[in-house]
Amino acid sequence: MNTEQLIERAKEYISQETNGQFRTEVEQLLSRNDLEELNERFYTDLSFGTGGIRGIMGGGYNRMNTLMIQRASEGLARYIEKNGVLDKKGEKSFALAYDSRNNSALFAKVAAQVMAAHNIRVYLFTSLRPTPELSFAIRYFGTTSGAVCTASHNPKQYNGFKVYWSDGSQIVTPHDKGIIEYVGKVRGDFLSMDYDEAVNKGLIQLIDEEVDVAYLEMVERQVIRPEVLIQYGKEMKIVFTPLHGTGAYLIERTLKKFDVPVITVPEQREPDGNFPTVEFPNPEEASALKMAIDLAKKEGADLVIGTDPDADRVGLAVRQGNEFVLLSGNQHGVLLVDYLFGARKEMGTLPPDSAFVNTVVTTNLQRRIAAAYGAKVYETLTGFKWIAGKIREFEAAGTPKFIFGCEESYGFMIGDEVRDKDSITATIETIEMTLYYKSQGLSLLDRLNQIYEHYGYYEETLVSKYFEGSSGTQTMGRLMDILRNNPAKEIAGILVKEIRDIEDGTTYYPEIGEKKKNIDLPSSNVLQWILVDGSIISGRPSGTEPKIKFYASVAEAEGIGISEAKARVGKKIEGIRSFIAAQIARVE
């Protein structure tokens, strides 16, 4: 894009942007003739993808701002008018929530005004709420659609607009492609109704306690052994951090209901979009839980729990002697699969046609455990919209009954009343599970080792590489092309048995040089290398951030002892990480 085009697009943006802060940013860039920054902000439009839009906040077409929210909301409103189902009241409606990020409340208000202008009734939370409660609210009111203003666990510079459909799940085909098409046609012709006028006309209906109560009742319904919480809850100390996000209110309220004491990290309890005490507000990052762990050591706590800003993900650290061990999302999921299916089976509440679902990049150990309890197991693409899609299939067929779904990135869905990952429900079930094992003289780490002794030792690793800027997407695409066109025959000295390409649904067998179309999953830019020892490496560009991710799950069979198994797996992981680093180096 040449200089003249950049300046023309910047001036066009200024003429349409109603927010003074974002408009001034671009005006200042023009006055300084900062062509490099103008190019970053205007070389493309921030695209509405399969889940909505997400990006760095600021003025410009390639940034998150009020104009881009208005465009997205306008396109979505037009799509709802044409294709949306009627709600319980026989009208088109929309549920809307927002988290603690800077501008989230503003973006939600702007989106509500656009929806109201289209005569779509908006159920808008009066203050910040977790993403899983938004999913629940869609189902509670039976709305046509919904959205939450959040960038989940991304750095503070980011925000987003995540869109849901009438079943409480993030949008999937055909709605995702349809909405993308409608949004793409919007330029400066969006509608907007005055906020106070919309409230007075009932087109914006403010919600809070009614949904809170119903949601928390749903959380209580997922508890399997309430007597464990009531009887032993006071015996355990829990330190919790919402990482300046939305989690404190509902988690504290839920635990109070069962009389389970919790110590919330005071410096991180209040919502703050600047996330002043953490570099990344992500419970996957050890540094994010440092303050909570330090407090737990001081208080003599047993457990540390942390949720991300929109409280859909949950991290866990468990006391071991005087230290705390951070569990990975895979390990946490392994424990929950084992407990949820095992406890229900013991209590006689596990349906004979129960189902467990996880994603292609999540450990196979979870599927093995669920199958051992008699459950049917399924795998999906990465993302809870695909897990929710399986639930729709089950409901349409009348069987099986969904019990639990999870993915490695600290996301867990317990029961089917929320159709997205839900840290609130996962937290109460994690505490129940911990108390149950404590009553049996076991810690969570003890139980995890018992699982490893029975099924074999599994360990996972993740390698992420950011590719920022206008060339980042092309670089990631080039890397995936290189990997496809040069199929590895061995990795870390281990022969490659299969290479699965989810994009075209094929499996390549290096030993015989054959390719077969045999993968029954929606097309997605994912490659998987299955090694002869059962190790699995998966590579995919992130759908929400400018980075590529490589996941590796490595296992050793049972019977050789955990210490020896860990040593062997460690060496394999070293080799696999070296292989991944070498591939990334090819495009740097």
pLDDT in tens, the chain (588 residues): 799 999 999 999 999 999 999 999 999 999 999 999 999 999 999 988 878 999 999 999 999 999 999 999 999 999 999 999 999 899 999 999 999 999 999 999 999 999 999 999 999 999 999 999 999 999 999 999 999 999 998 899 999 999 999 999 999 989 999 999 999 999 888 999 999 999 999 999 999 999 999 999 999 999 999 999 999 999 899 999 999 999 999 999 999 999 999 999 999 999 999 999 999 999 998 999 999 999 999 999 999 999 999 999 999 999 999 999 999 999 999 999 999 999 999 999 999 999 999 999 999 999 999 999 999 999 999 999 999 999 999 999 999 999 999 999 999 999 999 999 999 999 999 999 999 999 999 999 999 999 999 999 999 999 999 887 768 888 999 999 999 999 999 999 999 999 999 999 999 999 999 999 999 999 999 999 999 988 899 999 986 677 899 999 998 888 888 999 999 999 999 999 999 999 999 998
Strand partners, 97: 148
Amino acid identity, position 497: K
Report the distance separating Cα 295 and Cα 266, nearest Å.
Answer: 10
Domains 47-214 and 330-421 share a fold: yes
In this structure, are residues 27 and 12 in contact, taking their beta carbons and an 8 Å threshold? Answer: no
Half-sphere exposure (Cβ direction) of 418: Cα atoms closer than 13 Å = 32
Residue 573 token pair: 């992981």
504 exposure class (CB count in 10 Å sphere: 0-12, 13-18, 19+): exposed
DSSP 520: -
Among 3.40.50.150, 1.20.1250.20, 3.30.230.70, 3.30.310.50, what is the CATH number of 457-585? 3.30.310.50
Q: What is the pLDDT of residue 106?
A: 98
Closest by alpha carbon to 462, among 530, 534, 409, 384?
Answer: 409
Q: Domain segments of the chain: what residues?
A: 47-214, 330-421, 457-585
Q: What is the pLDDT of residue 187?
A: 84
Residue 552 token pair: 């590796």
Q: What is the pLDDT of residue 149?
A: 98
| Three-state SS at 353 | coil
Q: CB count, 10 Å around CB of 345?
A: 14
The catalytic site residues sit at: 152
DSSP 503: T
Residue 348 token pair: 């006689």
Backbone angles phi, psi at 468, to 5 degrees: -80, 165
Residue 15 token pair: 């003429």
Among 3.90.230.10, 3.40.120.10, 3.90.1330.10, 3.40.50.300, what is the CATH number of 330-421? 3.40.120.10
Q: Does the domain formed by 47-214 have CATH 3.40.120.10?
A: yes
Report the distance separating Cα 530 and Cα 522, nearest Å.
Answer: 19
Q: What is the pLDDT of residue 470?
A: 66
Q: How many residues does the chain have?
A: 588
Backbone angles phi, psi at 246, to 5 degrees: -95, 0
Residue 539 vs residues 329, 480, 544, 549: alpha-carbon distances, Å: 18, 8, 15, 6
The whole model's pTM is what?
0.93
Closest by alpha carbon to 314, among 332, 340, 293?
Answer: 332
DSSP 194: -
Q: What is the pLDDT of residue 40?
A: 93
Report the distance separating Cα 38 and Cα 25, nearest Å.
Answer: 10
Contacts of 4 (CB under 8 A, 6+ apart): none
Closest by alpha carbon to 168, among 196, 191, 189, 145?
Answer: 145
Q: What is the pLDDT of residue 544?
A: 64
| Three-state SS at 515 | strand
Q: What is the pLDDT of residue 533?
A: 87
